[in-house]
Amino acid sequence: MILNQIILGCVVGVYYSLVAIGLVLVYKVSGIVNFAYGNMGMMGAYIALLFLGKGMSPLASMLLVIPVAASMGYVVNRFTMRPLKGISHSSMLIVTLGIMMVFEGIAVQIFGADYKAFPELVKGRPFVFHIAGGLVLLRRQDLLVITIFAIFSVFMALLLKSTKIGLAMRAVSQDEQTAKLMGVNSNLIISIAWMISASLSAVVAILASPKTYISPGMMIHYQIEGFTAAVLGGFESLIVAALGGMLLGILETFVGDQLGNAFKPTISLAFIVAVLLIKPEGLFGRRKLEKL
């Protein structure tokens, strides 16, 4: 039974991980916790629905949304975040909250507030396994999400470790001023991070929509859980954010199973508070030492 709870927890957690990665990516290069992240994805899902309405396949609709979402990420960063660079972190946070509401308002006005369906990219009956005396149901779409998670992780690892852009990203994330002095175009690097993050958010929203259905509030749960996962990982690195998401998914599944579902949000959040009290830098974070 433990094994099947872990598997089911990972299936839930993989969505949190993808959201957490997008949040941490932007945070690492620009120091901004982007609360509009989920709603950027929600807008992407609506745009995918428009492509679908034009007769395109669900996969083609999703792929076409990626450049659109990337442009959205660029525009948000270029015209709101960059001009406001230098204001306090808390003010930036409020700005992203404002953008979140703007996106929601735009979605309600343009697309209406009713739920809309986006088909699964891979159809077919789910796989049902009997593992260790328990049942495990794996939807084909969830398996696709796990595959996309794996591919995206490899892509990000290669980007960060083996390309100049990746090197520049790491440099900007460590010290933007010094990176600039070394000739790194930090504005461009931050824009690229926003573009990747917004695209990822759109992909997550599209993949999650068979469960959540498309509506202006569709990403609220994922935004909160992804943020929690990122906090659990200490907003430290993409791998740690991914681990945080998985851990949160497994934790929630275990609490729901062992202590009762009503305790799930309470116990999960109490765990986060406990982690932050004991290890403020996050479960996997490293304590930063600064010379005085």
CA distance 54 to 56: 6
- Provide, rounded to whole angstroms, the least separation between the CB of residue 274 and another protein: 21
Q: Is residue 271 part of the contact set for another protein (CB under 8 A)?
A: no
CA distance 289 to 292: 9
Q: Is residue 130 part of the contact set for another protein (CB under 8 A)?
A: no
Q: Is residue 223 part of the contact set for another protein (CB under 8 A)?
A: no
Q: Are 49 and 62 spatial neighbours (Cβ–Cβ below 8 Å)?
A: no
β-strand partners of 130? 135
Q: Is residue 53 part of the contact set for another protein (CB under 8 A)?
A: no
Q: Is residue 170 part of the contact set for another protein (CB under 8 A)?
A: no
Q: Is residue 137 part of the contact set for another protein (CB under 8 A)?
A: yes
* SS percent in the chain: helix, strand, coil, step 5: 75, 5, 25
Q: Which of the ranges 44-52, 150-158, 162-170, 258-266 carries the binding residues for another protein, by CB under 8 A?
A: 258-266
Among 182, 262, 269, 273, binds another protein (CB under 8 A): 262
Among 53, 67, 112, 280, binds another protein (CB under 8 A): 112
Among 11, 65, 156, 171, binds another protein (CB under 8 A): 11
Q: Are 143 and 149 spatial neighbours (Cβ–Cβ below 8 Å)?
A: no
- Provide, rounded to whole angstroms, the least separation between the CB of residue 117 and another protein: 5
Which tokens is 171 given? 């440099």
* Relative orientation angle of helices 186-212 and 37-53, to the nearest 10 degrees: 60
The residue (of 31 and 134) whose beta carbon lies closer to another protein is 134
The alpha carbon of residue 219 and the mean position of all alpha carbons in its chain are separated, in whole angstroms, by: 10
Rounded to 5 degrees, what are φ and ψ at 137? Answer: -110, 125
Interface positions with another protein (CB under 8 A): 4-5, 8-9, 11-12, 15, 104-105, 108, 112-115, 117, 125-126, 128, 134-135, 137, 139, 208, 211-213, 215-217, 220-222, 253, 256-257, 260-262, 264-265
